[in-house]
Amino acid sequence: MSRIPGAFKKGKAFIAFLTAGDPDLETTEKLVFEMELAGADIVELGIPFSDPIAEGPVIQEADLRALASGTTTNKIFEMVKRIREKSQIPLVFLTYINPVFKYGYDSFFAKCKEVGIDGIIIPDLPFEEQAEVHEFSGKHGIDLVPLVAPTSEDRIKKIAAAAEGYLYVVSSLGVTGMRTEIKTDLKSIIDVAKETAKVPIAVGFGINTPEQAAKISKIADGVIVGSAIVKIIAENGCDSVKPVGEYVRGMKGAM
């Protein structure tokens, strides 16, 4: 059974993203434990991919560093298995359809279940084409977490109704990255989604300051932060564990 619902029972959830294997898998493992200690409620693990179309430069560069360090999907599965020996924090993969398709849907989701992954986000999988993936993610009990963008409009209710784990609301148009200001009318999107959603609603893309986290946590069930964390990792490499922990502690505290 998915560990994700438990993450939202303690109040507003802080969801932290990092790219697995950046700068190496040993550091990624340490970062997961440190972020949990600092207050992260869910960790999203990016499976590095050579063409991550939803990502801005910060995460694109992290993907390239991870691939250059020899990171593979199987090595990430092995790392998750080690994490599960010490932690029950909900873990969600963020990846693109190509690596999952190439691995084989049934094999991929069977492995997710075996090592203890709770959910998956696939940004380039259109809602209308989810059935071919859901057949296998559902079979193995892995939550398929969908994204809702400001342009989703008439599809919001439909996507929200089918959401598993949590609904990922994209705060801004464009790719991931830190933004000084978020101008989207998030409350309207969340209000529409809440009409049909049976799962919590979390907001991501562009959030990087405690002030933004505090503001968004007033209207959403969770806040997702990726690029700001990945930037700290890029600047500090193998020495990023402590500064990432301090950053997560500050963001969670603001919420």
Instruction: Identify the pLDDT of residue 175.
Output: 42
In the chain, where are the structural domains located?
4-8+11-254
Q: Using an 8 Å Cβ cutoff, are 254 and 210 in contact?
A: yes
How many alpha carbons fall within 13 Å on the CB side of residue 142?
28
Quote the CA–CA distance of 143 and 136 in Å, as a whole number: 11
Q: Using an 8 Å Cβ cutoff, are 15 and 222 in contact?
A: yes
Instruction: Identify the pLDDT of residue 173.
Output: 52
CATH number of 4-8+11-254: 3.20.20.70
Instruction: Identify the pLDDT of residue 54.
Output: 63
Whole-structure pTM value: 0.93
Structure tokens at 35: 């972020």
Instruction: Identify the pLDDT of residue 210.
Output: 95
Give the number of other CB atoms < 10 A from CB of residue 198: 10
Query: With left for phi above 0 and alpha for psi between -120 and 50, is residue 237 left, alpha or beta?
Result: left
Per-residue pLDDT tens over the stretch 72-90 = 999 999 999 999 999 999 9
Instruction: Identify the pLDDT of residue 153.
Output: 75
208 phi and psi angles, rounded to 5 deg: -145, -10
Instruction: Identify the pLDDT of residue 150.
Output: 81
- Please report the sign of the dihedral spanned by the C-alpha atoms of residue 113, residue 1, residue 196, residue 207: negative
Which regions of the chain are under pLDDT 50? Answer: 174-183
222 phi and psi angles, rounded to 5 deg: -155, 160
Instruction: Identify the pLDDT of residue 174.
Output: 43
Instruction: Identify the pLDDT of residue 171.
Output: 82
Structure tokens at 50: 């050579």
Quote the CA–CA distance of 51 and 49 in Å, as a whole number: 6
Per-residue pLDDT tens over the stretch 198-242 = 999 999 988 999 999 999 999 999 999 999 999 999 999 999 999
